[in-house]
Amino acid sequence: MSASTKLLVLYTGGTIGMQMSADGLAPASGFEARLRAQQALEQGRELPAWIFRELLPPIDSANMNQTNWLAMVAAIRAGVEQDGCDAVLVLHGTDTLAYSAAALSFLLLGLPVPVLLSGSMLPAGAPGSDAWANLFGAMQALHAGVAPGVQLYFNGTLLHGARVSKLRSDAFDAFNVLPRQRQGERAESIPTRIDYRQPRQPVNLAVLPFYPGIQAAHVSALLTSGVRGVLLECYGSGTGPADNRELLAALKAAHAQGVVLAAISQCPHGHVEFGVYAAGSQLANAGLVSAGGMTREAALGKLFALLGAGLSQAEVEHWFALDLCGERAD
């Protein structure tokens, strides 16, 4: 955990740099000058030297998508490989911050430097804002030394990038890691086919929760829409409407056509264990692969990283079932 001496600050937009417009708070450029001016006012902080890069246009993170994730990866690799940076700080809006942290955890597997993501609940400069505390706190953490991998820095705490979720919209401690049971054998190594050097392409993915009254026609319409992977949010330990033969048939047919079907638990403290109930076993027989105790954010980001690398259905299911960066096991 070497101390950072040259940091890449990658600004994507989000609340931290927003300014007031006629329609309300909106993303704004020019954050580098504001950051340097604020740093000049800070006393007693030990911070690394840093360079600034900005993804244009800066966005509200509610508009985050896979293309933005790939742009972040490209900018991070350029900062490390071309500019000689030994750490990265990504400034990001909070609405999808956990999704991006999870996606980058898998898109940057094997990257030899630490990547922290941070943002704020209130814009920089607003009364009582948490922006500068989060930003400079993250810089100080990197200057002290952080292990390689993706983490989130928020409200004075480092959080695992592939385990964190946003749990509150009204407080500075908005992010946390729930004590979900982690399951899955750890991968012995990360092959080059899924590490940070592997090019990715956007992937048609979907998330579908089970709920009382869900119809086979709803599921079938989604599964036949050209989607390549579906994350199914199951009840409890991985159950669903197993008495619905048409629904199970739709799942089996989609799996036979190459669609990857992954299952997470809807319970915040839950994990998928198909064999506990017969209903879960039937879903497993339909082709679903268990995400164990992974969060929605982690499971979605992992599906994207694996399918986006061009892996086959069988290969995706193999690597999805293994722990790659601590997402499935403590």
Enumerate the active-site residues: 15
Which residues in the chain belong to E strands, given as ranges?
A: 6-13, 19-21, 24-26, 49-59, 87-91, 114-118, 149-154, 157-160, 164-166, 175-177, 205-209, 229-234, 260-265, 288-290
* DSSP per position, 136-177: HHHHHHHHH---SEEEEEETTEEEETTTEEE--SSSS--EEE
Residue 150: half-sphere exposure toward Cβ, Cα within 13 Å: 31
Crossing angle of the two packed helices 296-308 and 313-320, in degrees rounded to 10: 140
CA distance 264 to 261: 10
CA distance 106 to 324: 8
CA distance 161 to 111: 14
Sign of CA dihedral 104, 163, 146, 57: positive
CA distance 220 to 319: 26
Which residue is listed with tokens 């800070």?
A: 42
Closest C-alpha to 304, from 233, 253, 230, 251: 230
State CA 122 to chain mean position distance: 22
* Contact indicator for 91, 135 with CB cutoff of 8 Å: yes
